[in-house]
Amino acid sequence: MAETIHVRGEGGAIFTMDLPLPEGIAERYESGQLVRVNADGSPYTGGQAPIQGSASTGGDTPRPGATARKAEWVAWAAAVHGMDPADADALTLAELKDLPEQPAEQEPAAPAQADRPADDAPKAEWQAYVAKRGVMSAEDAANYTRDDLIDLVS
């Protein structure tokens, strides 16, 4: 049986893939366009406990090194600043590096998406919403259940 891994795509969606990866996907993975993550989207640590920070970082998620790939900075911005991965990926590497070590305490919570469909809305509304957010195309979203689409943007 093939080993299964989870990767975060360019749009922030999590995909389950069997190893060995197909050639085109393997190239995107090696170039950093795809990042290996745990099934829940948390950073993959190679079987170790998930990165939670250490005593030296006060339990905070450590900031990536100066030479880290953009994908690592995107994952850090999502974990520490609560940014949507697609929004973080839209920033330049320089903008990601300019983010503060930790969000300010008085930073307001992200506003709810005004155009977000209700959880009991028809699947077609969720397909359109996911496509509008840039997570995936409406055609690709048609292959998912409504609940899967909700999980992708929650």
- 131 neighbors 141 (Cβ within 8 angstroms): yes
**Which residues touch 14 (CB under 8 Å, ≥6 apart)?**
6, 7, 8, 37, 39, 41, 152
Question: Structural domain boundaries of the chain?
Answer: 4-46+68-98, 123-153
What is the value of pTM for the model shown?
0.35
pLDDT 10s digit of each residue in the chain, 154 long?
678 888 888 777 888 888 888 888 888 888 878 888 887 777 776 654 444 444 444 555 677 777 778 888 888 888 787 788 888 888 888 888 888 877 766 445 455 566 788 888 888 888 888 888 877 888 888 888 888 888 888 7
Q: How far apart are CA 67 and CA 76, in angstroms?
A: 14
- 128 neighbors 108 (Cβ within 8 angstroms): no
